[in-house]
A and B are shown apart, each in its own frame.
Chain A
Amino acid sequence: MNAYHIVVCAGIVPDPLQTLEPITTPTGPALKNEMMLPAVLDPWASHALYEAANLATRAPGSKVWLVSAAPKAKLQQVMMNVAQKASFELVPIDAPASGFADAHTVARLLAEAIQSIPGLDRPRLLLFGGWESASRGAGVTMQLVGEGLGVIDQFQGVDQLTVQPDGSFEILERIEGGRHLVSVCQGPPMLLGWATGSLPEPKNNPQVGMANMRTIMPALQKAKAAPLPHGEIRYLSVTPPQQQRQTRIVKDRSADEIAAELSAWILQD
């Protein structure tokens, strides 16, 4: 199997269990106490990282870079856990991780950071990321990065990547109705926006973590601040959904009674 240069783009997002409250700042909307909220690596981008690490293991000579635009203090916290999951070299960009930041600006930063990776070999380049983030949730950043780097074989909602004997790749992408579109691409450079993939979350490996942290900490210290310009998008309002239902809790009813009520409800137009 050929060796690949796999670049994974991954942001950080608030832990899904946290309550999010929007506030208005001079630079636009933000989350209340954003820097205090526990953060995790973006879930779909995490799957991209696991798939990248798995592919690199099966293709000797391959290398994985993780490019992340986030406040470096928060990124360091997240890396304490993520670094134990897979071997990679971190390319940090010290920038806000807000979902309200414009995707075009973030994509430009990511593309510039990828272009500046020493020794990155374009004919072996596989550009990985999540097909959507859990913050902006737009599913546009990866395509913009790909365009910035001139990669025109792009796939989104990827659940499976299989290397064929001739070096080509078979890719399964999610499409409507719970089905997969199957395509075959001749080879790198390619861009893949991953959905869930097919791998479970790797168990923590402290040895991998320690090896990673030797390069992660110096990289974080050297990370340059990249403030994001604001004004690209005008936010007229940002609000949490107000709807709180008055739940009717039905106890002490027989299964027959409940089934009858559900049946009537289901068949009602």
Chain B
Amino acid sequence: MNILFLAHVDESGTVLLKAAYEALGAALDVAAQTASTLTIGLVGEDVQSVANSVAAAGARILAVAGQDFAHPRYATDAAAVEAICKTVAADIVIAPGTSRFLRVMPGVASRLHGRVDTHITALDLVDGVLTAKRWFYRQRLEAIIQRQARPWFLVVDPGCHQAWSRAAVPAKVEMIAVQLPPEAKRTMHTGVRVPNADAQTIRPDAKLLFVAGAGWSKKQADGKTHLPEAEAIILEFLRSSGASLGGSKSLVDQSGENQAVLGFMTHLNQIGQTGSTPRHPKGLSTCCHGEEPHAVGWRFINERRAVNLDSNCGWARGKADVLYVADAFEVMSKLNRLLASQRKEA
């Protein structure tokens, strides 16, 4: 069986994303279990340094490189990946679930009359046949699947496999020339924009997810809202803990309805059925009821704690390990002070 592992150079132009090394680990495992040949395919402006970083895997390395492939763009990325796949004549294509590859892999699978499955959380062999595990209905049902069609494109979610790591060694890279028609360049990359925020609040590699629910923007015991205070408490906690910020749908939707909300909270922070499903070892929810549509976004959070005034909220019904029935304003203020003093001592 021919297995092709694909990766692209990150925005800095010099390294692969962590998700790529994780997917490479998965690809190497599958290749070893099936006694298959593994080939590595790379896309980017200059691939030599990243090729060096994966050379110790001992696989043949092919690449499509050049200025036209420096930035994500469907037409050029699809042409590059298609050219590599055709050269290798792969039966199985394994790629990391980055935004760049999630955009382009289905189209390439279609061009090669193959099939594609994304958000793969595990690859395994069942009775000698390659199987993939993924979730359906937004992390509410988990399925194990097989396909007969080849090539089978498997796009692996970040955080699902140990990242492969070896020291860099000089790599021999076989370059593939790709001729691009003018229509492939109708789209121009113009930059990367960070959403309006006082700070970068989304940190995929953080150990802790901190979720703020709609309660932060509601009237408190004195009959008034305390949004500036809520903003200060949350931002201080994010700074001192290094946590990534998530929000419930009810909170992030308020900005669309022109209500007063936390200024740094956008739809990008939304966790849940219509938001994201991040992977962090721990999660702390505050002022959020933990109803099912939100809690499905916590599927991959291992340790979960919540602070809520309602002892009958969703978190109490088996969705959190610990529920503190308390006022989040008060608890988080005290927690900030504690973390600050511990930082000083350190």
- Binding partners A and B: yes
Chain A positions within 8 Å of B, measured between CB atoms, are 13-14, 16-17, 19-20, 22, 29, 43-44, 99-100, 102-104, 107, 134-141, 143-144, 146-148, 152-157, 159, 170, 172-187, 195-196, 198-201, 232-241, 244-251, 253, 255-256, 258-263, 265-267
**Stretch with Cβ within 8 A of A (4 or more), from B24-32, B38-46, B54-62, B192-200:** B192-200
Q: Write out the residue numbers on chain B whose beta carbons fall within 8 Å of the beta carbon of A239.
A: 141-143
Q: Write out the residue numbers on chain B whose beta carbons fall within 8 Å of the beta carbon of A139.
A: 102, 106, 118-119
**Stretch with Cβ within 8 A of A (4 or more), from B86-94, B107-115, B169-177, B213-221:** B107-115
Judge whether B117 and A236 touch: CB under 8 Å: no
Among B166-191, those with CB < 8 Å from A are 183-184, 186-191
Judge whether A182 and B191 touch: CB under 8 Å: yes
C-alpha spacing A173/B109, complex, angstroms: 22
How many residue pairs between the two chains, A and B, have CB atoms under 8 Å in the bound complex? 269
Judge whether B338 and A134 touch: CB under 8 Å: no
B75, B99, B142, B324: the one contacting A157 at CB < 8 Å is: B99
Chain A nearest Cβ from B307, distance in angstroms: 7
C-alpha spacing A206/B257, complex, angstroms: 21
C-alpha spacing A256/B335, complex, angstroms: 8
Q: Does B284 contact A (CB under 8 A)?
A: yes
C-alpha spacing A153/B147, complex, angstroms: 29
Judge whether A184 and B107 touch: CB under 8 Å: no
Which 5 interchain pairs have the tightest Cβ spacing?
A: A178-B202, A259-B334, A143-B106, A140-B106, A200-B256
Which residue on chain B has the smallest CB distance to residue A193?
B103
Q: Does B151 contact A (CB under 8 A)?
A: no
Q: What are some 16 contacts across the A-B interface (CB < 8 A)? A: A103-B106, A137-B136, A144-B107, A147-B110, A156-B99, A174-B268, A175-B192, A176-B98, A180-B193, A182-B192, A233-B145, A245-B321, A250-B324, A255-B334, A262-B331, A263-B342
Judge whether A104 and B338 touch: CB under 8 Å: no
Q: Does B250 contact A (CB under 8 A)?
A: no
Chain B positions within 8 Å of A, measured between CB atoms, are 17, 72-75, 78, 98-100, 102-107, 109-111, 115-119, 126, 131, 134-149, 183-184, 186-195, 200-204, 208, 241, 253, 256-257, 266-270, 273-274, 282, 284, 291-293, 299, 303-305, 307, 311, 315-327, 330-335, 337-339, 342
Chain B nearest Cβ from A244, distance in angstroms: 4
Chain A nearest Cβ from B17, distance in angstroms: 7
Judge whether B195 and A178 touch: CB under 8 Å: yes
Judge whether B317 and A247 touch: CB under 8 Å: yes
Check A200/B118 contact, CB under 8 A, given A154-B107, A173-B99, A248-B321.
no
Judge whether B256 and A198 touch: CB under 8 Å: yes
Judge whether A248 and B322 touch: CB under 8 Å: yes
Judge whether A175 and B311 touch: CB under 8 Å: no
Judge whether B267 and A156 touch: CB under 8 Å: no
B137, B194, B303, B322: the one contacting A137 at CB < 8 Å is: B137
C-alpha spacing A147/B191, complex, angstroms: 26
Q: Write out the residue numbers on chain B whose beta carbons fall within 8 Å of the beta carbon of A258.
A: 307, 324, 326, 331, 334
Judge whether A255 and B315 touch: CB under 8 Å: no
Judge whether A247 and B342 touch: CB under 8 Å: no
Judge whether A235 and B145 touch: CB under 8 Å: yes
Q: Write out the residue numbers on chain A whose beta carbons fall within 8 Å of the beta carbon of B204.
A: 176-177
C-alpha spacing A152/B263, complex, angstroms: 37
C-alpha spacing A233/B203, complex, angstroms: 35
C-alpha spacing A102/B114, complex, angstroms: 13
A140, A180, A237, A262: the one contacting B284 at CB < 8 Å is: A262
C-alpha spacing A15/B135, complex, angstroms: 18
C-alpha spacing A144/B116, complex, angstroms: 10
Chain B nearest Cβ from A96, distance in angstroms: 14
C-alpha spacing A14/B140, complex, angstroms: 12
A140, A184, A185, A200: the one contacting B253 at CB < 8 Å is: A200
